[in-house]
A and B are shown apart, each in its own frame.
Chain A
Amino acid sequence: MRPFDLSIPSHLMHAYLPDLILMAGAMLLLLWAVWRPESERHSRSIAYLAMGVCAASLAAVIFCWRVGFTSYNGPLAVDGFRWGCDVIILLGTMMTLAIAVDFNGRMRLVTAEVHVLTLLAASGMMLLAGARDLMVLFLGIELMSVAVYVLAGIDRRSGRGAEASLKYFLLGAFSSAFLLYGIALVYGATGSTNLVTIGEQFATPAVSEQPMMLVGLALLLVGFAFKVAAAPFHMWTPDVYDGAPAPYSGFMACAVKTASFAALLRVCLEAVGPGSERWHLALWWLAAATMVVGNLFALQQRNVKRMLSYSSIAHAGFLLVAVTAQTTDGAAAILFYLVAYTLATLGAFAVVVALNDGTDGPTDIGDYAGLWTVRPGLAMAMAVFMLALLGFPLVGGMGFFAKWYVLQAALKAPAPQTNLSIILVLATVVSAGFYLYVVMVLFMRPRPEGAVAPPPGSPILRFVIAASVTIILLLGVYPSPAVRIAQRSAASSFVPAPPRVATLPVASPP
C-alpha cells in the first residue's frame, strides 16, 4: 500500500489510465467505423477491435489494481472497489460485444458505430464506478445513459425498439433531472460536491437535520433507484428490456446496474454513513419493495426477455440488501454478487440470442419447449444460468455463494438485517417459481410438432455461453479466490464517513 498523491504524474496516470485507454480507443474506433462503407464484415471487425480496446483497458485496470494505493479523498477514487467494478463492467462489455456480433449478423444490422457506442457507455460506467465527486458522478451517468438510450433503439426498423428507446430516454432524462436537483440541494447544504467533505458535514446535526440536505439526499436516492431499477422506480424496465435488442438488454441489466450500484454504494459509505436512520429506512423499504415486486411480477411472465427484466429488478433488490448493511463486507458481497449476476444474466441473454430466428418479436417461452431434445448443450447452459440466478448450490454454481455472501453480510452488519434476510429468502422461494418454470419448459415439455431445431450459434456466441457456464460452475465449487479478491479490495477501499454527532429520534426500521 502506497499513499496516493494526485500531484505525482505516475500516480495521476494510475488514476486515469484505464479510462483514458477506453475513451481514446472509442474515439479512434469511431473514426475508423465511419471511414469505411457500411458492411457486415466491417461491422464485425469493429466489434473485434472494440473487444481489443476493452482487453487493453482491462489489462490497465489489473495493472493499477496490483499497484495498490491507499484511499485518498480526491474526486476520482483510486481503490480496489473501483477496480473490481471496472473489471465486472469490462467483462460485461466484452460479453455484450461478442453477443452483439452474432445478433447483428442474425438481424442484418450493419451499423458499425453500435460497438463504439457500447464502448462509450462502458467508459461512462467506469467513470461512475470511480466517482467520488457528485459532478463526476453525474458526468458518468450521462455519458453512460445517452449511449445506452441510443443502443436501445439501434434497430431503426423495429417499432418496439423505438418505443423502448423513447421510453428509456424520457424517463431517464427525468431521473437525471432528479439526480441533478439532488446534487444541487446537497451542494447548497454542504458547500461541496466531494463525497468525503459531504460526509464530514453530514456528521454534524446542523447539516444532517437540515431540510435542504434531506430533500437533496432523497432526490439523489430517487435518481439512483431509477438507474438500478428499484421498485417503485422500475416501471420502465420490462418495456425497455423487452423492446431493446437482446444483447443491449443484457448490457443494461448487467453493466449499467453494476456501475449504478458502485456509485450508490460509494454515496452510502462515504457521504451518508451508517448512522443515518432515515437513509437506512429508505434503503430498507427500497430493498424490500424491490425484492417483492420483482419476484412477484416475474412469476406471470411468459416472455423470456420480460421475465429476465423482472428478474433483474429482483436482483437489484437482493443487491440493495447488501447496500442496506452499509459495511465494507457488504461492498465485497456486492462485488462477488455482481460477477455471478453478470455472467448468469448475460449468459441467459446469449441463449436468447442463440434461439432468435432473425425476427423482432416477443421471445415466447413456448419456443423453448423441449429444447433439451434438440440442443442439449444450450438447454443445459440455460438451466445453469437459471439455477445460478436462483442461487442454487453447485449446479447453480457461484450463484449460491453470491446469495450466501449477501445474506451473511446482511446478518453480520452492526445492525443485523434479520427481517430483510427473511424477505430475501422468501423472495428467493418465489423466484424458484419462474426460474424453475424455464428449466421445466426446457426439459420436461415435449418439443412442439414440426418445430425446427434452432441452428447452432456462431462460434463466438457458443464460446461466450460455454465460458460463462464454466466460470459459474468452477467458482461454485471453489469460490475462495474470488471471495478473497472481493474481500481484500473492498476492505482497503472507501473513506468511511465519520460517526454522527447526535441524531433526533426516528422510528427504527421494522
Chain B
Amino acid sequence: MRSLLNALHYAEWILPVLLLLPLVGAAVIWIAARPAPHEDEREYGESHLGRNIALGVLVLEFVLSTGLWWAFDPANPGWQFTIDFPWLEEWGSRFTVAVDGISLMMVLLTTFLMPIALLGGWTSVRHKLRTYYALFLALETGILGTFLATDLLLFYVMWEIMLVPIYFIIGIWGGDKRIYASIKFFLYTLVGSLMMLVAIVVLWRYTGGTTFAYDKIMAVAPRTGPAALWLFGAFFLAFAIKVPIFPFHTWLPDAHVEAPTAGSVILAGVLLKLGTYGFLRFAVPLFPDVVMIPWVRDGVLTLSVIGIIYGALVALVQTDLKKLVAYSSVSHLGFVMLGLFAFDERSVLGAQMVGISHGVSSGALFLLVGMIYERAHTRQIAAYGGIARTVPMFSAALALVAMSSIGLPGTNGFIGEFLVLIGTYNVFPYLAGAATIGVVLGAAYLLWALQRIIFNPMSNPENRNLSDLNRREVGVMAVIAVVIVWLGVFPGGVLDRMRPATQRLVDRVHGRATVPAASALPVSVPTLPAGGR
C-alpha cells in the first residue's frame, strides 16, 4: 500500500486536494443543481442532483484521505505531508498545511463522519437543497483547514470560516428555535476567537512581525510572566468555549438540539474536537509553563470534573432525547479535558481516544435520534416505549451505540475512558475517583433512556405503525458498528500513530527532552498490525 502511494506521489498533493475538492464540489452543486427558472426553490421535489454530487465528493474525500493512514510514518513525531505556499508576504503569513500524530486522526474522523452524516440525514432536509449541500461541502474545507493549518493566521482564518456554513445550516434548516440557537452559537464562538486573534497578533510581535509559522512562534512565545498568562488566557477562552468546558457550555444544548440531523452529527462529532485540538496544538504546547502553574492546572481539572458530573446529571433529567445526547457531550468532553490536563502520557492519549470515540458514538446517537424523529415526529422520551417490538433494527443499533457511549469494554468508548482514568489516577487519584462517578452516571442516563424508549410496555399506540430502518440507514449504522468494534478491539493502530506526537507534547509540558525512540506504553493495549503496514 505504501509503495503504491509513493508511486502516486501521494504526500505531495493529498492535503491541497482534500481542502480544494469540497469547494469545487460546492461550486459544481451550486451551478448544476440550480432549480429550473421560475420554479420555487422552497418546494420539496426540486432536484436531488446536489445530494448525489455531495455524497460522491464526500466519499471520494474519505477514500483519498484513508491513504494518510498508511502513508503516515508512525515513528515521526513531527510534521508530515507538509505543503507550503507564500500567501501574505507583507505580514509573513504562509499557506502551510501539514499533518502530525495529533491531527491525523482528527482529519480521518472528519472525512469519515461527513459522508456518514450526509447519508444519515439523507431525507431530513426538504428545502433550498442545493445551498444546503454546497454549505455542507464548504464546511468540510473549513474543518479540515483548521486541523491542517500550521500557520497561526491561516489557522485563525479557517477557524472563523468554518462558523459560517454551520451558522447557516442551523439557522435555515434547524428546528423551531433555530435563529436564537444559531446566533448564540456564532456570538459565543466569536468572543473567544477574537480574543485569540489579539493573542496571535501579540505572539506575532514576538517574532518581530516576520512569521506566523507554528514552530517559530513556539520558539519565541513567552514562557512565564503575566504576558504568557494573558496570552494563554485568550487561547483558553477561545478553545474552552468550543470544547465546551463547564461554565462556557450553554450554547451547546441549543445549537445541537436545533441543528438538522447532519448538522448535529458534525457539531458533536467534529466541531467540539476542534476545541480539544486547539488545546493540544496551541494552548498547551505554546505555554507549557503556564499550564503547569498549580492554580491554572487545578482550575481546569476541577472544571473538567464538574463538567463530567454536571453534564451527566443534567442529561439524567432530560425529557427530550436530543437534549440528553447534547448534555452527554458536555460530560464526555469533560473526560477529554481531564485526561489532557492530567499531562500523563496515557491520559493524554486516552483523551484523544475519548475524543475520537465520542465523535463516532455521539454522532451515531444524533443520527438515530434523527431517524426516529423522522418517523414519529417527536423527540420526547415519554412518547416512546416498547418500540423494540416494532423497530428491532433501530433498537439494536441504539443499544449498541449506547453501550459504546457508556464505555462498555470491547467498544470504542472503553479504551479512551480507561486510559484517561488510569493516567489521571497516577497524578490526581481523587479526581479520577470523582470522574468515575461520571462514568456510572453515564451508564445510568443512557440505560434509563434505553429502557424507557425501546423496552417498557408500549404505552403510545401510534408507535405500533413505526417503520423500521430502511436499507440506507441499516448500511450507515453497520459501518458505524464496525468502527465501534474495531476501535474497541484493535485500538493499537490509532494509538501507535498518536503516540510519538503525544509523547513530545507531554515531554514539553514537563520540561523533559524528548526521547527519540517511542517507548512502549506500560499498559498492555493490543497492537495488532493495521492494514497493509
Question: When the two chains form the complex, which single residue of B157, B171, B186, B197 contacts A407, counting CB atoms closer than 8 Å?
Answer: B197
In contact, B171 and A395 (Cβ under 8 angstroms): no
In contact, B88 and A440 (Cβ under 8 angstroms): no
* B179 adjacent to chain A (CB < 8 Å): yes
For the complex, give the distance between the alpha carbons of A339 and B171 in Å: 31
Chain B 1-45: CB-based contact to A (< 8 A → 1; otherwise 0): 000000000000000000000000000000000000000011000
For the complex, give the distance between the alpha carbons of A436 and B198 in Å: 22
Stretch at the interface among A46-54, A157-165, A426-434, A463-471: A426-434
Residues of B within 8 A of A437 (CB): 183
CB-based nearest A residue for B164 = A395
Given A394-B161, A412-B209, A440-B179: A407 and B90 interface contact (C-beta under 8 Å): no
Residues of A within 8 A of B202 (CB): 411, 418
* B521 adjacent to chain A (CB < 8 Å): no
* A123 adjacent to chain B (CB < 8 Å): no
Distance in Å: Cβ of A408 to nearest Cβ of chain B: 5
In contact, A407 and B201 (Cβ under 8 angstroms): yes
In contact, A429 and B179 (Cβ under 8 angstroms): no
Residues of A within 8 A of B191 (CB): 429
Residues of B within 8 A of A394 (CB): 157, 160-161
For the complex, give the distance between the alpha carbons of A408 and B160 in Å: 18
In contact, B198 and A433 (Cβ under 8 angstroms): no
Residues of B within 8 A of A395 (CB): 161, 164
In contact, B90 and A440 (Cβ under 8 angstroms): no
Chain A 230-263: CB-based contact to B (< 8 A → 1; otherwise 0): 0000000000000000000000000000000000
In contact, A429 and B89 (Cβ under 8 angstroms): no
* A444 adjacent to chain B (CB < 8 Å): yes
Given A429-B190, A436-B183: A408 and B172 interface contact (C-beta under 8 Å): no
CB-based nearest B residue for A482 = B90
In contact, B186 and A432 (Cβ under 8 angstroms): yes
In contact, B42 and A373 (Cβ under 8 angstroms): yes
CB proximity to A under 8 Å, residues B148-202: 156-157, 160-161, 164, 168, 171-172, 178-179, 182-183, 186-187, 190-191, 194-195, 197-198, 201-202
CB-based nearest B residue for A446 = B42
For the complex, give the distance between the alpha carbons of A425 and B190 in Å: 10
In contact, A443 and B172 (Cβ under 8 angstroms): yes
* A393 adjacent to chain B (CB < 8 Å): yes
Count residues of A near B (Cβ-Cβ below 8 Å).
Answer: 34
In contact, A480 and B197 (Cβ under 8 angstroms): no
For the complex, give the distance between the alpha carbons of A393 and B155 in Å: 11
Residues of B within 8 A of A408 (CB): 91, 201, 204-205, 209
Residues of B within 8 A of A412 (CB): 205, 209
Residues of B within 8 A of A416 (CB): 205
Count residues of B near A (Cβ-Cβ below 8 Å).
Answer: 32
* A392 adjacent to chain B (CB < 8 Å): yes
Question: When the two chains form the complex, which single residue of A432, A436, A444, A487 contacts B172, counting CB atoms closer than 8 Å?
Answer: A444
* A404 adjacent to chain B (CB < 8 Å): yes
For the complex, give the distance between the alpha carbons of A440 and B179 in Å: 7
In contact, A428 and B209 (Cβ under 8 angstroms): no
The binding surface of chain A is classed by DSSP as helix
Residues of A within 8 A of B178 (CB): 444
In contact, A400 and B157 (Cβ under 8 angstroms): yes
Question: When the two chains form the complex, which single residue of B171, B194, B197 contacts A444, counting CB atoms closer than 8 Å?
Answer: B171
Residues of A within 8 A of B88 (CB): 479-480, 483
Residues of B within 8 A of A411 (CB): 198, 201-202, 205
Distance in Å: Cβ of A82 to nearest Cβ of chain B: 22
Chain B 194-233: CB-based contact to A (< 8 A → 1; otherwise 0): 1101100110110001000000000000000000000000
* A421 adjacent to chain B (CB < 8 Å): yes
* A422 adjacent to chain B (CB < 8 Å): yes
In contact, A480 and B209 (Cβ under 8 angstroms): no
* A484 adjacent to chain B (CB < 8 Å): yes
For the complex, give the distance between the alpha carbons of A395 and B160 in Å: 10
CB-based nearest B residue for A432 = B190
Chain A 363-403: CB-based contact to B (< 8 A → 1; otherwise 0): 00000000001000000000000010000111100001000
Distance in Å: Cβ of B31 to nearest Cβ of chain A: 13
CB-based nearest A residue for B153 = A404
Distance in Å: Cβ of B255 to nearest Cβ of chain A: 14
For the complex, give the distance between the alpha carbons of A429 and B164 in Å: 15
Residues of A within 8 A of B42 (CB): 373
In contact, A429 and B194 (Cβ under 8 angstroms): yes
For the complex, give the distance between the alpha carbons of A189 and B346 in Å: 73
For the complex, give the distance between the alpha carbons of A387 and B168 in Å: 13
CB-based nearest B residue for A370 = B42
For the complex, give the distance between the alpha carbons of A400 and B93 in Å: 14
The binding surface of chain B is classed by DSSP as helix
Residues of B within 8 A of A400 (CB): 157, 160
In contact, A444 and B179 (Cβ under 8 angstroms): yes
For the complex, give the distance between the alpha carbons of A436 and B178 in Å: 14
In contact, B201 and A392 (Cβ under 8 angstroms): no
In contact, A436 and B90 (Cβ under 8 angstroms): no
Distance in Å: Cβ of B208 to nearest Cβ of chain A: 10
Distance in Å: Cβ of B16 to nearest Cβ of chain A: 15
Question: When the two chains form the complex, which single residue of B41, B89, B187, B198 contacts A432, counting CB atoms closer than 8 Å?
Answer: B187
CB-based nearest A residue for B202 = A411
For the complex, give the distance between the alpha carbons of A484 and B91 in Å: 10
In contact, A425 and B205 (Cβ under 8 angstroms): no
Chain A 432-454: CB-based contact to B (< 8 A → 1; otherwise 0): 11001100100111000000000
Residues of B within 8 A of A429 (CB): 187, 190-191, 194
For the complex, give the distance between the alpha carbons of A444 and B89 in Å: 39
In contact, A484 and B205 (Cβ under 8 angstroms): no
In contact, B197 and A392 (Cβ under 8 angstroms): no
Residues of B within 8 A of A487 (CB): 90
CB proximity to A under 8 Å, residues B73-93: 87-91
For the complex, give the distance between the alpha carbons of A426 and B198 in Å: 11
Distance in Å: Cβ of B193 to nearest Cβ of chain A: 10
In contact, A484 and B187 (Cβ under 8 angstroms): no
Distance in Å: Cβ of B126 to nearest Cβ of chain A: 14
In contact, B195 and A425 (Cβ under 8 angstroms): yes
CB proximity to A under 8 Å, residues B114-169: 156-157, 160-161, 164, 168
CB-based nearest B residue for A428 = B194
For the complex, give the distance between the alpha carbons of A416 and B202 in Å: 10
In contact, A480 and B160 (Cβ under 8 angstroms): no
Given A408-B204, A432-B186: A393 and B172 interface contact (C-beta under 8 Å): no
In contact, A407 and B198 (Cβ under 8 angstroms): yes
CB-based nearest A residue for B127 = A373
Distance in Å: Cβ of A314 to nearest Cβ of chain B: 15
Question: When the two chains form the complex, which single residue of B90, B160, B168, B183 contacts A484, counting CB atoms closer than 8 Å?
Answer: B90
For the complex, give the distance between the alpha carbons of A437 and B41 in Å: 23
Residues of A within 8 A of B171 (CB): 440, 443-444
For the complex, give the distance between the alpha carbons of A307 and B468 in Å: 52
Residues of A within 8 A of B91 (CB): 408, 483
In contact, A436 and B186 (Cβ under 8 angstroms): yes
In contact, B187 and A425 (Cβ under 8 angstroms): no
Question: When the two chains form the complex, which single residue of B87, B160, B182 contacts A392, counting CB atoms closer than 8 Å?
Answer: B160
Residues of B within 8 A of A393 (CB): 156-157, 160-161
Residues of B within 8 A of A443 (CB): 168, 171-172
Distance in Å: Cβ of A443 to nearest Cβ of chain B: 6
Distance in Å: Cβ of A286 to nearest Cβ of chain B: 21
In contact, B41 and A444 (Cβ under 8 angstroms): no
Sample of 9 A–B contacts (CB below 8 Å):
A392-B160, A393-B161, A408-B204, A411-B202, A421-B198, A436-B187, A443-B171, A444-B179, A484-B90
Q: Which residues of B contact A (CB under 8 A)?
A: 41-42, 87-91, 156-157, 160-161, 164, 168, 171-172, 178-179, 182-183, 186-187, 190-191, 194-195, 197-198, 201-202, 204-205, 209
- Since A373-B42, A437-B183, A479-B88 are in contact, a sample of 5 more A-B pairs with Cβ atoms closer than 8 Å, ordered by chain A residue number, is A393-B160, A436-B183, A443-B168, A478-B87, A483-B91
Q: Which residues of A contact B (CB under 8 A)?
A: 373, 387, 392-395, 400, 404, 407-408, 411-412, 416, 418, 421-422, 425-426, 428-429, 432-433, 436-437, 440, 443-445, 478-480, 483-484, 487
Rank and list the top 7 A-B pairs by shortest CB-CB distance, nearest first: A393-B157, A425-B194, A444-B171, A483-B90, A393-B160, A394-B161, A429-B191
